[in-house]
Amino acid sequence: MKTSQNGIAIIQKFEGLRLTAYRDIVGVLTIGYGHTGPDVTPGLTITQPRAVALLQQDLAKFEAGVSRLVKVPLSQNQFDALVSFSYNLGLGSLQNSTLLRLLNAGDYVGAAGQFILWDKAGGKAVPGLLARRTAEQALFKGVG
């Protein structure tokens, strides 16, 4: 599956667009729509088209990861919510989560309830993360 425009819109909204590298809330160098990696260096500046290209490149990795980890059928909205979740937290967080365990057991309702538990950065609850998890949860449930 590929991320739909609804999923991309959630990622873009919550990641925001920054054309100059910055350190995120936990100190990771980030640029564009939440792109991280060894290519992001202090002082790096990119264009908006480059930010979109990086987003597309990153999405491919997370789409493949979600497709590999999830063993049950997903709606487009569920897939989009899981890609957004993984994009923000990493595929390792999804892989080791109760959310994925419940989902792969066929408990879609239980899995949906797990999103809002992932609202912390550096051990502290972050209102912006709760807002993102709530939006992902609503998308996963097909609400909105």
Domains of the chain (ranges, CATH numbers): 5-141 (1.10.530.40)
CA dihedral 54, 58, 63, 69 (to 10 degrees): 180
Residues forming the active site: 15
Residue-wise pLDDT tens digits, 40-71: 999 999 999 999 999 999 999 999 999 999 99
CA 107 from chain centre, in angstroms, equals 21
Residue-wise pLDDT tens digits, 59-112: 999 999 999 999 999 999 999 999 999 999 999 999 999 999 999 999 999 999
At residue 144 the predicted structure's pLDDT band, cuts being 50, 70 and 90, is low
